[in-house]
Amino acid sequence: MTPDPVTLAILKGRLEGIADEMDATLFRSAFNPIIAEAKDACHGLYHATTGETLVQGTSGLPIFVGAMAFAVKVVIDKVARDGDLRSGDTFLFNDPYEGGTHLNDFRLVRPIFRRGQLFCWIASVGHWLDVGGNVPGGYNPKATESFQEGFRLPPVRLMRDGVLNSDIVDILAANSRVPASNWGDLNGQINALDLGERRLNALVDEHGEELVQGAFAAFSARAEALMRAAIAGLPDGTYTFEDVLDNDGITDEVLTIALDLTIAGEEMVLDFSRSSPPAQGPVSISRATTIAGCYVALKHVFTEVPANAGCLRPIRFVVPDTTLLGAGAPHPVAGYTETVLRLIGVIFGTLAKADPARATAAPFGTINALSIAGHRADGSRFVMFSFFGGGLGGNPESDGLNHANNPISTATIPPVEILEAAYPVMFTQWALRPDSAGAGTHRGGLGAVYEVEALVPASVSLLGERGKVAPFGVGGGGAAAPNRFTYDTPEGPRNPPMVSKVTDVRLAAGQRVRLETPGGGGWGDPASRDPAATARDIKLGYVSAVK
């Protein structure tokens, strides 16, 4: 049964509200600031037999929404092999090669039954603070296999008939430096699923299974139709673009992400066959993560298309497992964020060739995953993990945003007050970075400067990018400033040999690390910039001279 337009709009709002409320439940109850403050999590509703995304929340991470469809399908396939699926079962896993991203991202998947029949799935994913491995926080820039990044859990029944399996909880606790934090996050995710199940059952009780299923089908059909129309509006042809990663943390050689994009009528092919082979270090990603990254990039470009599985139906993906974008176990994947960010930029660059009116210069393109870990004065262990902001690219309508988050997600940069309250660190600088934006008719956004002092002896690791190859400009716009990381040593400040990747840095109490993040690339010829805008930039200290 297909709902009438008014009912369909009501159901869309209410179903999205359920996912939003699940998000809010986890954000308010998680122990770990990366979920509670940065909102590094998401929730959604998924198709009963295919696992396709039906509904997503508006505040969860889009990259997770794209990958979760693959994760739910993994559970569906497991149930098909093992049988005996019951109401109240909940599956838990973090396998990055089976619908995951990296080992810190834990997924909970639960079936929803109606009248004894499987109606759909609901799911939760959140970034846990530490899951073992060689480096606190999991971002090990020297990893050459996933075993050095943490422990890998395949889909297992965390709950059977609504009863928690305490043996699995014990295994989780034994494999983390901060088990209490993970325990709090796990309970937050379980509570979010409990609430989502109650809200969804109440809605279906009100409207009936047939009408709600009809709404699910209508949502996907509309997304597919709008995506086909958007693709049809682009000129047919094959367009190419490529960009690089600085290195893989092991060998100091650039890695290429190359795209051949073909548009034919209302269909599109994204072919990544020319990309570099799987990396030795932790920047390879799985096919599921690659497709999720494409989903995020296309949603940025075609903003009018609803966010569900229907929008991917007109698109074919060519992601050979001989490339770093289709890697399998045990290739290390902790730095998947860096590779996905470069992937999104490559899609932006390729589509800009097809439609220059949509051209957007490169964003800063790195999360700068920084971990500072050690023991507090009372002997308790801490792991501070955080990611940081930079400048977004200039575009046809405006300058890029200063000190923004990356287009990989809707996450927010954790507030300095929260980080200082939770961990024995002090931020001695948190500011915009002058002269970091690419010049242009519309300049890029500014990057930032973060300086952190350890208040107790601590170990430091960083997994970042854009230290050698800066974010590019388009249409004559200039490149931004590259990433820069400095850390104190007894001999004075140093920079990592691998530019933006380093581990085993030891800080004494009172020593500091300094992170200067890239700006965004510029859009258009800098000579065409409004002189008044240039004067304002100089007055505000954004630039020290005309560029």
Q: What is the pLDDT of residues 89-136, one digit of tens each?
A: 999 999 999 888 999 999 999 999 999 999 999 999 999 999 999 999
Which domain-ending residue is among 224, 254, 285? 224
User: How far apart are alpha carbons 192 and 404 in whole angstroms?
Assistant: 28
Mapping DSSP to helix (H, G, I), strand (E, B) and coil, where does residue 156 land?
strand
Helix, strand and coil content of the chain, in percent to the nearest 5, comes to: 30, 25, 45
Residue 24 lies in a domain: yes
Residue 534 is assigned to a structural domain of this protein: yes
In a domain, 295, yes or no: no
What sign has the CA pseudo-torsion 151, 154, 157, 159? positive
In a domain, residue 230? The reply is no
CA distance 158 to 425: 36
Q: Is residue 274 part of a domain?
A: no
Nearest Cα residue to 100 out of 79, 69, 121? 69
- Report yes or no on 242 lying in a domain: no
Amino acid at 205: D
Apex CA 172: angle with CA 166 and CA 176, to 5°?
Answer: 145
Give the count of beta carbons closer than 10 Å to the beta carbon of residue 180.
13
Q: What strand order describes the sheet that includes 315-318?
A: 237-245, 255-264, 267-271, 315-318
Domain boundary among 177, 192, 224: 224
Residues in the chain, how many? 547
Rounded Cα–Cα distance for residues 108 and 126 (Å): 9
* Listed residue (362, 318, 338, 365) closest to 501, CA to CA: 338
Q: Are 475 and 439 a contacting pair, CB within 8 Å?
A: no
Q: Which of 203, 211, 487 is nearest to 370 (CA)?
A: 487
The one-character DSSP state at 390 is B
The answer as to whether 335 is a domain residue is: no
Buried b (16+ CB within 10 A) or exposed e, 191-207: bbbbbbbebbeebbeeb
pLDDT digits (tens, 9 = 90+) for 23-81: 999 999 999 999 999 999 999 999 999 999 999 888 877 788 778 899 999 999 999 99
Single residue among 194, 224, 254 that ends a domain in this structure: 224
- Dihedral sign for Cα atoms in the order 420, 487, 493, 541: negative
Which residue range(s) make up the domain with 412? 359-547
The helix/strand/coil state of 55 is strand
Q: Which pLDDT band holds residue 21 (cuts at 50, 70, 90)?
A: very high
Helix, strand or coil, per DSSP, at residue 26? helix
pLDDT at residue 328, rounded to an integer? 95
**Cα–chain center distance at 21:** 20
The pairing of beta strand 105-114 with beta strand 117-127? antiparallel
Half-sphere exposure of 314 (CA within 13 A, CB side): 23
pLDDT digits (tens, 9 = 90+) for 180-237: 999 999 999 999 999 999 999 999 999 999 999 999 999 999 999 999 999 999 999 9
User: pLDDT at position 547, please?
Assistant: 47
The pTM of the whole model exceeds 0.85: yes
Residue 237 lies in a domain: no
The total domain count for the chain is 2
